[in-house]
């Protein structure tokens, strides 16, 4: 598997993945569930894409499932891999991976996923984690942050990332940004509900989803922040008849857009 290059080397473009991504053709528009639970997918143990979930410490602990980073794990991760395998030509690894920012193995993977970064005071990163995070992202890595809601959780999240990137603002992406057109044509950010909320009511004090980003010097999105939306629940509950199909479909479409963008920029 290709990574983002050896430590301290110039940014390496993932040429194989770029070719695959650009050869995907016209994306399907589906009204039925995107994943068939009765069809076995073919996974490649040496596939180019591995789903890597970020493990992190919270500022304070309340016993929440041994850490908020574990939310929806591993079902959401495994189902998203199946979706990428079924809906694109990107070859995937069959099992999700869990790594921390202070693990140098992150440099082997161009795409990281994290969620619930507003609970329990938000994430707490050690100096080593902040240093690795900055190097990983500035050298071409991509971090997708999902599933946190409302202004209080935003403030918790913002504290941690302002410490890691005090010199880079967090901007809001417009709905016509190319990241929403990288595979599926989507009309900007979408609010994906948690299970048990089929009417998609706002969870907290903000009633719409927005996407924010931290950019590198070339304007590339290196941190994508999916606020007031829960793609992970859409992936995790793909086969649950109580979860609305339209939101599960949107969760896959958004996730694949973000993935393709990360592999081609």
Per-residue pLDDT of the chain (265 residues; tens, 9 = 90+): 556 654 543 333 343 333 333 434 445 444 455 555 444 344 455 568 999 999 999 988 755 455 789 898 899 999 999 999 999 999 999 899 999 999 999 999 999 999 999 888 889 999 999 999 999 999 999 999 999 999 999 999 999 999 999 999 999 999 999 999 999 999 999 999 989 777 777 778 999 999 999 999 999 999 999 999 999 999 999 999 999 999 999 999 999 999 999 999 9
Backbone angles phi, psi at 98, to 5 degrees: -120, 125
8 A C-beta contact, residue 96 and residue 81: yes
Tracing tokens 């950010």 back to the chain, one arrives at: 189
The set of residues, in sequence order, having a beta carbon less than 8 Å from that of 95 and lying 6+ positions away, is 78
H-type helices in the chain, by residue range? 15-22, 75-87, 127-138, 150-164, 231-236, 245-264
* Residue burial 176-209, b: 16+ Cβ < 10 Å; e: rest: ebebbebbbebeebbbbbbbebeebeebeebeeb
The model's pTM? 0.85
Instruction: Provide the greatest CA pair distance for the chain.
Output: 49
Q: How far is CA 167 from CA 144, 163, 214, 215, 248, in A?
A: 20, 9, 10, 11, 36
H-type helices in 38-194, by residue range? 75-87, 127-138, 150-164
8 A C-beta contact, residue 137 and residue 222: yes
CA distance 252 to 141: 21
Topology of domain 44-264, per CATH? Rossmann fold (3.40.50)
8 A C-beta contact, residue 221 and residue 173: yes
The domain ranges of the chain are 44-264
């Amino acid at each position: 598997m290709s990574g983002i290059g050896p430590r301290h080397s110039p940014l390496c473009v993932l040429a194989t993945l770029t070719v695959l991504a650009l050869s995907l053709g016209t994306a399907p528009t589906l009204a039925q569930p995107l994943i068939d639970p009765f069809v076995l997918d073919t996974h490649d143990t040496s596939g180019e894409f591995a789903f890597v979930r970020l493990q992190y410490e919270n500022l304070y602990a309340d016993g929440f499932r041994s850490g908020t980073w574990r939310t929806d794990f591993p079902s959401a991760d495994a189902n998203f891999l199946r979706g990428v395998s079924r809906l694109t030509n990107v070859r995937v690894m069959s099992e999700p991976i869990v790594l921390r920012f202070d693990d140098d193995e992150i440099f082997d993977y161009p795409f990281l996923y994290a969620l619930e970064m507003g609970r329990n005071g938000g994430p707490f990163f050690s100096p080593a984690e902040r240093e690795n995070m900055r190097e990983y992202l500035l050298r071409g890595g991509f971090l997708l942050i999902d599933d946190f809601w409302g202004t209080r959780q935003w403030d918790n999240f913002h504290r941690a990332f302002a410490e890691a990137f005090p010199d880079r603002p967090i901007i809001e992406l417009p709905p016509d940004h190319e990241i929403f057109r990288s595979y599926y044509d989507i009309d900007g950010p979408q609010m994906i509900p948690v299970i048990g909320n089929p009417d998609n009511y706002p969870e907290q004090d903000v009633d719409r989803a927005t996407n924010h980003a931290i950019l590198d010097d070339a304007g590339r999105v290196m941190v994508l922040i999916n606020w007031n939306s829960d793609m992970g629940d859409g992936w995790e509950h793909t086969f649950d008849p109580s979860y609305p199909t339209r939101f599960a479909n949107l969760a896959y479409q958004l996730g694949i857009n973000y993935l393709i963008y990360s592999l081609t920029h």
